[in-house]
Amino acid sequence: MSEEITFYKCATVPLEMHRARIVQKLELKPVEERVRAITEAGNNTFLLQNKDIFLDMLTDSGTNAMSDRQLGATMVADDSYAGSTTHERLETTLRDIFGKEYFLPAHQGRACEHLLAKVFVKEGDIVPMNYHFTTTKAHITLQGGEVTELYYPDALDVESANPFKGNMPPEALREAIATYGVDGIPFVRMEAGTNLIGGQPFSLENLKEIYAICREHHLPLVLDASLLADNLYFIKVREDAYKDATIREITREIADNTDIIYFSARKLGHARGGGMCLNDRDTYLKLRELIPVYEGFLTYGGMSIREIEAIAIGLEETMDLHMINQGPLFTEYMVDELVKRGIPVVTPAGGLGCHLDAMQFVSHVPQHEYPAGALAAAMYLAGGIRGMERGTLSEQREADGTERLADLELLRLALPRRVFTLSQVQYAIDRICWLYENRELIGGLTFVEEPSKLRFFLGKLAPVSDWQDKLVAKFRTDFGDSL
């Protein structure tokens, strides 16, 4: 059954396909207060306080707006510790959408990664994937395994016309299997929307090719479906073979070409939780034993029952093309407007949000001084906008202490679904343009507190010079007493 693609654009302007009924007040703090806030946060946007932020573009994880149907569903939750009908509703929804027999709940996506690593990964194992994610890699390395990334060369080209930069080369997977052996590969992982390279999707044709190789060698194919909604949209509009398929049909075909699906409902489903779906009973039983140990009982897995009700509705709403197109359409608008102004940004527009190319934006800042992190701090100073560094700062040092330089240096400005208005997006564009005009004033950062694991969450940094003073002075010259 075909599903018409309607973009709801007026000329080139995307339209919000919702109306706001409840609002949350925002405050744009004066630049002097922003200087204080970023200094206290150690130039780490993760450590900024929400009260000091105007536009929070750090992430779309747990920040998407819930629908009226989701909020209503939270009022009918069955909060029984065991045997909850709320859990049964979520399980039924997932079985209907993905066609997998078993479901195990977890408090979020990284909890699923933890349990999968505990069950599958042993010392010396290699896990092939189309690109790593920070917590995925951490859980694998904590078990003594390593990650090998398999991608086409242009996946790392910031400016590209490739609609599916998240594809995994089948020949590269065959080579990895020949090199490490089936016994040295616990599973193969595909991420639906490669987070760290700009939310870039894979094609369904590519997934089917990878799954065929996995089946040939009896290797499980694990899908990180946290960003599945965006990937579904891109398959629908970019892959000719599926332009007449419904989102539900595309979803089922993806599920039929994977063995284990795990997801963070903070992204997929627009609530807070997660879980794993699979068919293999032996694997299910091994994972099931760990749920009560690390997450909670089998009918809630660390989630609140109200959130579980909201997830069930949110997953059903994800099957609506005109819900899942909102994030990609607004991201595309923002990317296109920046491209018009000559500002370096990842193309084509992916999911998650707009990704500035810090390697070009502040080309004078060396990688060991964390250009994407410096740009994130500058972005906050310029407009009270919080973004997320996705570059060398998000890596971790090698065992000998040397710095591992990232393939890309990106500042991600996430666009949570149904949260920002077009005028707020245009404000962000204006602040980016001002920063780009004054980019020579931006300098680097250096660590003053550096955790050994996932340092981008908790580490603190300081400017390597007085560049922030100069940037703020230029801001006052250009804007006077305005915010």
Q: What is the pLDDT of residue 3?
A: 54
Q: What is the pLDDT of residue 155?
A: 94
Catalytic residue check, 133: yes
Q: What is the pLDDT of residue 22?
A: 86
Amino acid at the residue 202: F
Catalytic residue check, 390: yes
Choose, from 89, 236, 248, 267, the residue flagged as catalytic: 267
Q: How large is the average pLDDT for residues 144-165?
A: 95
Q: What is the pLDDT of residue 5?
A: 52
**Predicted model pTM:** 0.92
The pLDDT-based confidence of 199 (bands split at 50, 70, 90) is very high
Catalytic residue check, 12: no
Q: What is the pLDDT of residue 1?
A: 42
pLDDT > 90: percent of the chain:
86
Catalytic residue check, 455: no
Catalytic residue check, 224: yes
Catalytic residue check, 288: no
Token pair of 300 as six digits: 């809630």
Would the CA dihedral through 457, 438, 347, 391 be positive or negative?
negative
Flag whether pLDDT at 8 surpasses 70: no
N-to-C CA span, the chain: 52
- Half-sphere exposure (Cβ direction) of 338: Cα atoms closer than 13 Å: 34
Choose, from 202, 456, 460, 475, the residue flagged as catalytic: 456
* Cβ pair 332, 353 in contact under 8 A: no
**CA 444 – CA 369 distance, rounded (Å):** 5
Please choose, from the candidates 221, 189, 157, 174, the residue with its C-alpha nearest in 3D space to the C-alpha of residue 407: 157
Q: What is the pLDDT of residue 208?
A: 98
State how far Cα 172 lies from the chain centre.
Answer: 25
Catalytic residue check, 240: no
Q: Which positions ≥6 away from 360 have C-beta within 8 Å?
A: 158, 344
The pLDDT-based confidence of 67 (bands split at 50, 70, 90) is very high
Q: What is the pLDDT of residue 482?
A: 60
